[in-house]
Amino acid sequence: MSSFVPNQPSMLSPRHMGTPTRPDRGTVTAGPGETLWHLVAAHLGSAATDWEIAREWPRWHQHNLSRIGAEPGQLRPGTVLHIPPPTPR
């Protein structure tokens, strides 16, 4: 009789990176390899243009400067970012 032995979970699993299982809709958590561009594009949706994403990611950086730091390319996995309020039109 053989017994079941589960596979060891991947250390890159979002659950092991500290990602909440039910994220707050006002925040987003950076995953491994994600950039502000990726996060903003996902937030804006598939209809977003490159121009719209390029306009928004600096706003996200400024709004989360204390979490990201001065260099936006140094976004670390597990960083919880607050989504900035929409810009008035």
Question: Is pLDDT above 80 for 10?
Answer: no
**pLDDT (mean) for 58-74:** 96
How far is Cα 34 from Cα 75, in angstroms, rounded to an integer?
Answer: 8
Quickly state the pLDDT bin for 2 (edges 50, 70, 90).
low
Question: Is pLDDT above 60 for 81?
Answer: yes
**pLDDT (mean) for 19-25:** 52
The pLDDT assigned to 62 comes to 97
Residue 76 sits at the vertex; the CA angle it makes with 34 and 55, to the nearest 5 degrees, is 55
Amino acid of residue 6: P
Average pLDDT, the chain: 84
Question: Is pLDDT above 70 for 46?
Answer: yes
| pTM for the structure as a whole | 0.70
Quickly state the pLDDT bin for 7 (edges 50, 70, 90).
confident
Kindly write down the DSSP assignment for every residue of 41-74, as one continuous string: HHHH-TT--HHHHHHHHHHHHHHTHHHH-S-GGG
